[in-house]
């Protein structure tokens, strides 16, 4: 009996010892990689030096922590000056599409050490009142960043608002534009679900999706319904193409960002001329949420808010089929223009 207990104790000690040694080795390896130089070379132009800037990851992570502190309202003028912090206009904008996964895309890109996100949707270019406040007001809404970093903002209303392409063009004609899309009918239902939730919160009743999306008299798709119109991606894109060449856009597959985000993020890194820095380590699947969540470092990780990833109501298959058929020719045109094809029905 005593012999058995001793053997058990030895076994336990062995497991604990192995775990401790393993953890020390892991930490040593991580600290080692933190000292490796990380080239940070965002975008081709508007850059003070033509030499790639190389900064140890440890410094970048420290700086990210510092930025976080400063963003929380603790920045003093002295700190801003000492760390050479600036509020930069965005060099890339996620212009849409609403419910395509714009928040997930922004948050995931923010994992990159050279990217700083504007947390709030600024609605500068689509809101006349904000736009009248001028570009310095817009800059003032941007987060502090180090000069070698790039700022990204997202306002999905930009994609569908008439005046926005011209206004952005006048600010920066070489800006990079990101559009994240999902299968159009799913996106429309997601859009409806968000509005429905808002109505329910206010104890208001709301029509069923089918009633809004399909005209009850003609049994045809109701193109006056905003959730339908927004999903006609090609119509909106064509307005943008009057100002920007197609090469200035990058289309992100919002459906794949849900199921397998890393390859989509790597394509964006490439489009933004950023070195590939986001890795599988930064993304982990959370079974409870049913989505990928973000891991910044050994201590800090987060999932998106509960308002992202709502359960959609069941939609009559007749309405779904009708919508899919309706979107089909527009989708074909969208693939043709953008050079990116999806398996949409
Ligand atoms: P649903 O709520 O329909 O599932 P947006 O940020 O543009 O409003 O898009 C919201 C959508 O982002 C959600 O739509 C959700 O499916 C999608 N999404 C993509 N990746 C996500 C993630 N990692 N966590 C939560 N939602 C994510």
Per-residue pLDDT reduced to its tens digit, 258-306? 999 999 999 999 999 999 999 999 999 999 999 999 999 889 999 999 8
Residue with tokens 């001329």: 273
- Asked if 136 and 160 touch (Cβ cutoff 8 Å), the reply is no
pLDDT of residue 289: 94
Cβ burial, residue 280 (10 Å; 0-12/13-18/19+): exposed
pLDDT of residue 40: 46
- Ligand 1, atom 16, lies closest to the CA of 309
Residue with tokens 């996620």: 94
- The answer to which of 69-78, 116-125, 260-269 has the lowest mean pLDDT is 69-78
Whether 49 shows a pLDDT value over 50: the answer reads no
- Cα separation, 132 vs 147, in Å, equals 27
Residue 205: pLDDT band (50, 70, 90) is confident
pLDDT of residue 336: 98
Whether 31 shows a pLDDT value over 80: the answer reads no
Cβ burial, residue 53 (10 Å; 0-12/13-18/19+): middle
- Cα separation, 244 vs 103, in Å, equals 24
- The answer to which of 48-62, 117-131, 271-285 has the lowest mean pLDDT is 48-62
Q: Is the CB of 252 under 6 A from ligand 1?
A: no
Residue 13: pLDDT band (50, 70, 90) is confident
Residue with tokens 């990079």: 176
Whether 78 shows a pLDDT value over 90: the answer reads no
pLDDT of residue 66: 61
Q: Is the CB of 282 under 6 A from ligand 1?
A: no
Q: Is the CB of 309 under 6 A from ligand 1?
A: yes
pLDDT of residue 169: 98
DSSP single-letter state for residue 124 = -
pLDDT of residue 69: 56
Q: Is the CB of 96 under 6 A from ligand 1?
A: no
pLDDT of residue 44: 39
Q: Is the CB of 335 under 6 A from ligand 1?
A: no
- The answer to which of 9-23, 42-56, 207-221, 293-307 has the lowest mean pLDDT is 42-56
> Between β-strands 283-286 and 291-295, what pairing exists: parallel, antiparallel or unpaired?
antiparallel
Whether 256 shows a pLDDT value over 60: the answer reads yes
Q: Ligand 1 test: best mutation among 95, 101, 290, most atoms within 8 Å of CB?
A: 101
- Ligand 1, atom 20, lies closest to the CA of 258
| More reliable by pLDDT, 31 or 201 | 201
Q: Ligand 1 centre and the CA of 308: distance in Å?
A: 5
Closest to 230 (Cα-Cα) out of 94, 95, 97? 97
- Ligand 1, atom 17, lies closest to the CA of 101
Which regions of the chain does DSSP assign to beta strands (E)? 37-40, 53-56, 86-87, 92-96, 115-117, 144-145, 150-154, 176-181, 249-253, 283-286, 291-295, 301-302
Q: Is the CB of 192 under 6 A from ligand 1?
A: no
Cα angle: 262, vertex 164, 141; to 5 degrees: 70
pTM summary value: 0.84
- The answer to which of 59-63, 182-186, 204-208, 301-305 has the lowest mean pLDDT is 59-63
Q: In the numeric block, which tokens belong to residue 95?
A: 């212009």
């Amino acid at each position: 009996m005593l012999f058995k207990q001793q053997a058990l104790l030895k076994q336990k000690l062995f497991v604990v010892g192995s775990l401790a040694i393993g953890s020390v080795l892991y930490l040593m390896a991580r600290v080692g990689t933190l000292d490796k130089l990380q080239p940070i070379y965002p975008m081709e132009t508007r850059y003070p030096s033509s030499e790639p800037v190389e900064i140890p990851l440890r410094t970048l992570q420290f700086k990210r922590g510092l930025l976080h502190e400063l963003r929380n309202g603790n920045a003093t003028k002295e700190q801003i000056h000492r760390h050479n912090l600036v509020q930069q206009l965005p060099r890339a904008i996620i212009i849409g599409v609403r419910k395509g996964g714009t928040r997930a895309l922004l948050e995931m890109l923010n994992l990159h050490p050279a990217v700083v996100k504007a947390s709030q949707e600024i609605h500068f270019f689509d809101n006349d009142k904000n736009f009248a406040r001028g570009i310095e007001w817009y800059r003032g809404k941007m987060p502090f960043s180090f000069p070698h970093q790039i700022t990204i903002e997202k306002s999905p209303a930009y994609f569908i608002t008439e005046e926005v392409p011209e206004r952005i063009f006048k600010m920066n004609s070489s800006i990079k534009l990101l559009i994240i899309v999902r299968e159009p009918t799913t996106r429309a239902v997601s859009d409806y679900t968000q509005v429905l939730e808002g109505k329910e919160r206010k104890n208001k009743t709301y029509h069923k999706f089918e009633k809004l999306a399909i005209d009850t008299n003609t049994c045809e798709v109701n193109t006056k319904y905003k959730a339908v119109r927004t999903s006609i991606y090609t119509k909106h894109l064509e307005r943008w193409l009057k100002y920007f060449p197609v090469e200035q856009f990058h289309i992100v597959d919002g459906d794949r960002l849900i199921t397998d985000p890393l390859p989509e993020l790597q394509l964006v890194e490439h489009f933004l001329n950023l070195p590939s820095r986001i890795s599988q380590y930064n993304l982990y699947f959370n079974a409870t949420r049913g989505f990928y969540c973000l891991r910044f470092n050994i201590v800090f990780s987060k999932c998106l808010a509960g308002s992202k990833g709502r359960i959609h109501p069941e939609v009559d298959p007749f309405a779904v089929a009708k919508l899919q058929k309706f979107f089909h020719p527009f989708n074909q045109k969208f693939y043709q223009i953008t050079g990116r094809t999806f398996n949409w029905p």
